[in-house]
Amino acid sequence: MRVLLVEDDELIANGVREALRRRAYQVDWVSNGRDALNAAIDNPFDLIILDLGLPGLDGLDVLSALRQHQKRTPAIVLSARGSTQNRIDGLNAGADDYLVKPFDLEELFARIHAVERRTSGAATNVLKMGEIELDLAAMSVLYQGIEVTLQRREFSLLKKLMESPRQVFTREQLEESLYGWTSDLGSNAIDVYVHNIRKKMYSDVIKTLRGVGYRIDPNLAN
Ligand code: CA
Distance in Å, CA 51 to ligand 1 centroid: 6
For 3, the 3-state DSSP assignment is strand
As a whole number, mean pLDDT of residues 19-47 equals: 95
State pLDDT tens for residues 142-177.
999 999 999 999 999 999 999 999 999 999 899 888
**Residue 192 pLDDT greater than 60, yes or no:** yes
The C-alpha atoms of residue 197 and residue 178 are separated, in whole angstroms, by 15
The C-alpha atoms of residue 137 and residue 117 are separated, in whole angstroms, by 11
As a whole number, mean pLDDT of residues 135-139 equals: 93
Model pLDDT, residue 221: 65
Return the closest-CA partner of residue 155 out of 137, 168, 173, 131.
Answer: 137
Q: Is 52 exposed, middle or buried (0-12, 13-18, 19+ CB in 10 A)?
A: buried
Return the closest-CA partner of residue 27 out of 1, 3, 51.
Answer: 3
3-state secondary structure 169-220: ECHHHHHHHHCCCCCCCCCCHHHHHHHHHHHHHCCCCEEEECCCEEEECHHH
Give the DSSP letter string of 81-132: --SHHHHHHHHHTT-SEEEESS--HHHHHHHHHHHHHHHHT-SSSEEEETTE
As a whole number, mean pLDDT of residues 49-64 equals: 97
- pLDDT band, residue 218 (cuts 50/70/90): confident
Residues with CB under 5 A from ligand 1 (ion): 8, 51, 53
Distance in Å, CA 36 to ligand 1 centroid: 13
Where is pLDDT greater, at 66 or 121? 66
Distance in Å, CA 21 to ligand 1 centroid: 21
Distance in Å, CA 52 to ligand 1 centroid: 6
Model pLDDT, residue 184: 66
Distance in Å, CA 12 to ligand 1 centroid: 9
Return the closest-CA partner of residue 56 out of 78, 17, 18, 30.
Answer: 30
